[in-house]
Amino acid sequence: MKAESKLNRLALFLLILLFALFSCRNVFSPSDTLEQDPIVGRWDWILTISGWFSQTPEDAGYHWVLQFTSKGVLKSWKSDTLEWGAVWQIDEYLVPDTSSQYVDALFIDDSVHYGVLYEGADTLIFDMNAIGWEDAPRHWFRRLKE
């Protein structure tokens, strides 16, 4: 009876171990992470506000579209002309002059550029104030439907 009990426990342990192994996914795979990221897609600039000015596409006389791909490529379009491309990622960033305040930040070519905030699924905000700048621009974007 004791041998049967040990065998049952071993079988249960192996079953739980197999379940755990097959239910896990590799959370460190960059392609998996980027595909899951809500920033992936095309975003149309709608407003910029800072401590000293505000601007809309109508004021500026151009449209600005950002395209984030699941492969980590960022393209910036100004009035339908490709202006530049870069490599992007979202990562935690320790806000300067704080000991424990972290924010999600957009890194472009390994340099931190903006804090990243979302208002629902269709509004994206890039906020330099969130990463320690004062009176810095905050840019609003709306998701473009594909």
Any residues with CB less than 8 A from the CB of 59 and at least 6 apart, and which? none
> Residue 86: pLDDT band by 50, 70, 90 thresholds?
very high
CA–CA separation, 137 and 50 (whole Å)? 4
What is the residue type of 78?
A: K
What are the pLDDT digits (tens) for 15-38? 554 455 445 444 334 444 444 688
Task: Identify the domain containing residue 94 by its residue range.
Answer: 37-143
CA–CA separation, 88 and 69 (whole Å)? 9
Tell me the residue length of the chain: 146
Kindly state the tokens that stand for 38.
């809500």
The count of structural domains within the chain is 2
* Domain co-membership, 12 together with 45: no
What are the pLDDT digits (tens) for 111-136? 777 888 888 889 988 887 666 667 77
What are the pLDDT digits (tens) for 38-78? 889 999 999 999 888 999 999 999 999 999 999 999 999 99
pLDDT greater at residue 143 or residue 9: 143
Q: Which SS3 state, helix, strand or coil, does residue 54 take?
A: strand
* Domain co-membership, 69 together with 118: yes
Looking up residue 48, the CATH number of its domain turns out to be: 2.40.128
